[in-house]
Structure 1
């Protein structure tokens, strides 16, 4: 609890800012009558489904409807300042449908001559840079809305693992602050250092994140998270070979509203989140949001154990000049969080057709660095494991490392309707990060090496798009993208294998420039052809040096790593690429459509960011390419939504972190690989009565991956690796959730959810041994929430309620253990 209140000053200032913003907006909104305010609406005549999604976006409301109810109907033109209800009424004139308010800023579309039918909630996504119903998007996309993210405690990208099928996280060589996200088995072999080019591109409010270091960015006050699976490039900022995670935060909205959440859980976990937003004037909106997390550490540190006071020996002689291993004593509850984050959003409507949205954000993380445990000494009697026991939640160490991670920045989005059917969008962003991270991937008091890294990252980007997105016979989009990022990272290593302390000092600068476009043309009323093209040019410069300090006078640095001291390099890289995609979608019926697609993907080459010792390691690795093929089916009725996808990827010049010729871990092109698989997603309303409903959602991803060829001068590793699965590619990953809603007397409501997630066996590196392959695991989670008429609620949850002992990662004798059974309670309030 002490660490949580050490952030109290920043938290108090954030809360005061929220309260001041709420008071200001409440004063301006007091003159407004009712819950709605008029706002600019500009919708052209188009298919009704497209018009409703466009209105939902412009008026910042939710519109629920069955796709089969609106297909074949046409909406008329609506333009002017309207309350959402009036805009919907005009939009539905002559369609035989009506809009009925069914919740706060929520409307349900029903037939005028019938009682409201049971309908599936319409999921609207912007996966193709425009609002569209999810079943009409011919790409594999999963969506987690903001409320669901809160209920599932998703506050970072890595929290999506075990919540979305087909996603995995791999830490492997770099430790728990260097996670690698993979989608459909691609990305788990990435570079764990901050200068890499991730296979999975993360976007936050339209801004591309250049480094996996930004995976630690907290996600809160979300509108939704979209996960696009497979190579992307004709619509998104930077080319990618695995997929895109697109996090979209909430905007101010057109009425004052706010929410707050407080939670307490196992291992003294405490969380607080609050947000308030709404109009300040008729043209200006403001939203402020804060998040704080503390505690939750479930590991116990047992000190150095039998290795306390140990010094290495050289030819049988104890090296007394080497400091002995210290015993830091015992520490309970290690792994606590200590995080505070805030965001401010300002929207300005200069005119009905022009709006500017500005966002500023920052986060401060001072938590413990999650530690590895080691297997029992009876199973590993080496010196490096002395003093260990069989308890997976207890570890031995000479230190309890922490980290200091600050992420900050801002973005601006300008949206302008040039004329009917022509829209211009500009998205600019700047952000940076300061990181100080300690740790080792050994899980032992006497590791082969341990590190202390200081990293400074900065990036600036600009994306421009011009589009016709009216949902007519031809939709098109063209755009340009530029990003520049710089990384300075200095790592101090204690190497007991080389009997020395040495420094790695690195600096990298990169530019990426791209032009892209896509056109969707409806050949007939049922058949649509989509074609996209992208040109990318990447350049990078990389320089640095390794310096052996040799503080003990017994260094074997030059012989161990086959290098010189100091070792200095200065290299450049450049490449360009043209990639594209063709998609054919056919509407079999109003409820069923199928699609096929073929395309290519590209990921720019660059430089290894680990400890570079030889000239060969300074040379840039080549760009990675993929040939991608996919087929899918989307079937939606009033009670059922089904998606089926099959895919086939073929990679050339696969980039991967692997064991290099001098026995260090580095990044290189290792050959060819494939990833084949299938996915299924089902959402079904099992039953609905006047007072309760029961809903099921389930998804599963099945993977068959293989290394087809492997480049190495070690014959044994070639033989061992070819035919192996890719890292971060579980054969099966699946989720299933049952959701129950019950209306009680006096407008009280009870909602409950039972979720099961399964993660199949997976390795964490190429040429993996059994000690690098984590077994499958299954987790069971539950949650129940009681909501009062006054928009406040109490909830309770349990995660891993079967208390399964599982290991998201094995790294030889070291293992990363997952959280045991945890429970918590909380309260939420909204106005």
Structure 2
């Protein structure tokens, strides 16, 4: 609640020429404050000071005097956790050029900090919800990387896979299914996952609190973000199914307390265009609405050279050309293949049902009709197989008999109900429903005459509900308890044209799963500086899997049964169920107000299931067992006004490791392959190098060093065992690092010039078990540059360059086929904020 000082006080202040008007922000007394000797439990997001100051006054039970004109146009930093009013005000006003001066027992006056303007100021506080409550990132005893929404937009992050070259320790493995079947790994875990839509991802993706059950949802566009949080390492307590590698939380923006929004348009290399717009704010005292849209088109940097010398080719059997087999066609040359054609929209509704009850509803949808990105192939001089149709050394040119597009729709909604039961007791319910339909075509080796073409049609649906009750206000004991349930159904039919088996065959799959979990965590502070946290999670998984394998033999020359050592046309109907108790124990000690250390030990669980690749034998239809992990971590957090340093060491040991590997019939499928370990060190550093009246400079650096190893490998092939044991895990680069310099030059008249130089390094990694040199991608380093000119009229003009050194790199190698990264690209854009 905001009120004004008395007329007498106002006259005195005017007479002194101090201010034109004074604002008084005050709030109701806080029981939590009385119980903690002047320390209040605060939760404030970054927002305009005009809104942040009254909110802080209410939560901290203080009075704030300030001139409205003094705070107008300034933005307060986020504040979270238990803090004294003076500490909270110091963090809130960091970087604003203002300071709070105590003028009474519970009264502060906000003034200009003129004497401090030339000094180095503080970093903005980063607030995360990694433990399902708001807390400053340095107070969270686990490894968490955060990309703020505005920063994500500047870096061009519009999907989960875009995070890979922006966050150290992340990698993407496209396995056998191309770019539409990506596998995210964290700290070397996840790269051996199943790329098909019924798989169990090791990295749990959550969008606005809703767990995404399938890797298919990695294609969901991310835009109008508040932030993205990456929780590294097994999360066996507070999060849902399959978090043995970690969790990615994407949190989108809500309406806010005042009308605001933005519109942005961009044009770049290869005729790339992007448009994004959002607007939100209060409609009434109880209702807020926000709408956001994103459109992307163009940007394809590959050149299709047609079928080359294989145009018109038909296979031979014992020297006889099989004229009944359709001849390979030549689609002609195609420039700019790989274009995007994406549109996405989201609507958010915030409704205050009662003074202590809020409901947030989000509806979203996306439509993707872009090109299916293709593999290139090594030069013909290095690949003498018939599949090579004249390939040259140009990595951006490929040969093909067609240029397929994709059809991917993702849609759904979520609702979050937050109710304050009583002081220090909060109830939260998060429900979600969503689905996806996908039709994707392609081939696995980048040639006109591949081992097989695939045409996959998939339909997914899921529904989930999570209920939580928590006392999380920063007292001596905090706790959270809840229940989680999710059910999902996947139908996916894949049609294959196999030139290896000289036939056309279908794999028809249907899988239904459900998962129930009960979880709880307690944080206990036996003394002021020590926090002990303990949590447990019980999980129950059930799955039904049905399908059939059909050899259509349209040409009458099928070698299906002999090629795949199987019997054609069989069906299956299998079930899987398992349960597990996982947990985590953590101790965090505050050495000083700026330094804390923690250690933790825990377990993680990933449910078993079924192979979703091509099924050739009855043995492949049987379920594989659940995977478990033992995790040990230790960390250090040092935070001052200018520096934020994190240091983490970890070691994980996996049993019943799930992986896609070569099976007994020489096909690739899912199995429990043995034991593995991942260990390493991570460091993160944020430094406010300089901030003065004229300029600011901030350095952000992060690096991960990994050592992963297959400890034991189960196979009836002795050669495979010998070749695999001791190898690193797929999707586990030995080193990954990012470095960014952010500079702002404050010009006259409210103008400013911003620049960002970013460098990212991704180390050597393989994309599968039993990896040969042709499956090991070499390290690469990318350099990106961006400049922005912001005007006082809320316009921003910007220009950027990505991979400005034009490095040729390959995120995936698959024998002679290779997936090439984008060359140097450039672009310009304009944004208007209101």
Change (3 A) 1:658 1:93: closer
Whole-Å separation in 2 of the counterparts to 1:143 and 1:125: 8
Structure 1 residue 44 corresponds to structure 2 residue 32: yes
The counterpart of 2:460, out of the listed 439, 457, 461, is 457
Task: State the secondary structure of the residue aligned to 1:804.
Answer: coil
Structure 1 residue 468 corresponds to structure 2 residue 471: yes
Structure 1 residue 190 corresponds to structure 2 residue 193: yes
Whole-Å separation in 1 of the counterparts to 2:28 and 2:359: 14
Q: Deviations 1:352-408 (Å, cap 9, x if unpaired)?
A: 210000000000000001110000011111111131110000000001111000000
- C-alpha contact (below 8 Å) 2:584/2:601 kept by paired residues: yes
Change (3 A) 1:726 1:92: closer
Whole-Å separation in 1 of the counterparts to 2:396 and 2:227: 34
Following superposition of structure 1 onto structure 2, how do residues 524-539 of structure 1 map, counting pairs within 5 Å? 524-539=527-542
- C-alpha contact (below 8 Å) 2:38/2:84 kept by paired residues: no
The counterpart of 1:311, out of the listed 306, 311, 314, is 314
Partner residue of 2:424? 421
Q: Deviations 1:467-495 (Å, cap 9, x if unpaired)?
A: 00101111100010000000000000001
Structure 1 residue 668 corresponds to structure 2 residue 671: yes
Q: Deviations 1:620-678 (Å, cap 9, x if unpaired)?
A: 00000000000000001111110000000000000001111111111110000000100
Change (3 A) 1:274 1:734: same
**Deviates most, 632-641 or 35-44:** 35-44
Change (3 A) 1:805 1:638: same
The counterpart of 1:323, out of the listed 322, 326, 341, is 326
Whole-Å separation in 1 of the counterparts to 2:614 and 2:101: 66
Partner residue of 1:67? none
- C-alpha contact (below 8 Å) 1:809/1:815 kept by paired residues: yes
Task: State the secondary structure of the residue aligned to 2:43.
Answer: helix
- C-alpha contact (below 8 Å) 1:164/1:735 kept by paired residues: yes
Whole-Å separation in 2 of the counterparts to 1:339 and 1:747: 36
Q: Scaled by the length of structure 1, what TM-score is found?
A: 0.91
Q: Deviations 1:513-571 (Å, cap 9, x if unpaired)?
A: 00000011112111110000000000000000010110000001111112222111000
Structure 1 residue 54 corresponds to structure 2 residue 53: no
Computing the radius of gyration from Cα coordinates, the structure with the larger value is 2
Partner residue of 1:564? 567
Partner residue of 2:210? 207
Tell me the CA shift for residue 56 of structure 1. Answer: 3.4
Following superposition of structure 1 onto structure 2, how do residues 204-603 of structure 1 map, counting pairs within 5 Å? 204-603=207-606
Task: State the secondary structure of the residue aligned to 1:628.
Answer: strand
Whole-Å separation in 2 of the counterparts to 1:748 and 1:560: 69
Whole-Å separation in 2 of the counterparts to 1:698 and 1:261: 28
Change (3 A) 1:729 1:312: same
Q: Deviations 1:222-246 (Å, cap 9, x if unpaired)?
A: 0000000000131123341000000
Partner residue of 1:21? none
Unaligned runs of 5+ in 1: 1-32, 65-69
Structure 1 residue 651 corresponds to structure 2 residue 654: yes
Unaligned runs of 5+ in 2: 1-20, 103-110
Change (3 A) 1:293 1:577: same
Partner residue of 1:5? none
Partner residue of 2:144? 141
Whole-Å separation in 1 of the counterparts to 2:124 and 2:569: 63
Change (3 A) 1:570 1:61: farther
For this pair of structures, how many residues does the alignment match? 788
- C-alpha contact (below 8 Å) 2:734/2:765 kept by paired residues: yes
- C-alpha contact (below 8 Å) 1:266/1:822 kept by paired residues: yes
- C-alpha contact (below 8 Å) 2:27/2:61 kept by paired residues: no
Whole-Å separation in 2 of the counterparts to 1:638 and 1:653: 46
Tell me the CA shift for residue 47 of structure 1. Answer: 6.8
- C-alpha contact (below 8 Å) 2:91/2:125 kept by paired residues: no
Whole-Å separation in 1 of the counterparts to 2:186 and 2:778: 19
Whole-Å separation in 2 of the counterparts to 1:185 and 1:803: 27
Tell me the CA shift for residue 60 of structure 1. Answer: 10
Task: State the secondary structure of the residue aligned to 2:415.
Answer: strand
Whole-Å separation in 1 of the counterparts to 2:355 and 2:732: 48
Runs of 4+ deviating beyond 4 Å: 33-43, 46-53, 57-64, 74-79, 82-89, 91-94, 96-104, 106-117
Q: Scaled by the length of structure 2, what TM-score is found?
A: 0.90
Tell me the CA shift for residue 108 of structure 1. Answer: 6.8
Following superposition of structure 1 onto structure 2, how do residues 599-618 of structure 1 map, counting pairs within 5 Å? 599-618=602-621
Tell me the CA shift for residue 616 of structure 1. Answer: 1.1
Task: State the secondary structure of the residue aligned to 2:722.
Answer: helix
- C-alpha contact (below 8 Å) 1:483/1:511 kept by paired residues: yes
Change (3 A) 1:34 1:283: farther
- C-alpha contact (below 8 Å) 1:633/1:643 kept by paired residues: yes
Whole-Å separation in 1 of the counterparts to 2:38 and 2:334: 58
Change (3 A) 1:50 1:146: farther
Q: Deviations 1:19-75 (Å, cap 9, x if unpaired)?
A: xxxxxxxxxxxxxx99999999978327799847413389999979xxxxx9xxx98
Partner residue of 1:6? none
Task: State the secondary structure of the residue aligned to 2:390.
Answer: coil
Whole-Å separation in 1 of the counterparts to 2:401 and 2:301: 19
The counterpart of 1:828, out of the listed 816, 827, 831, is 831
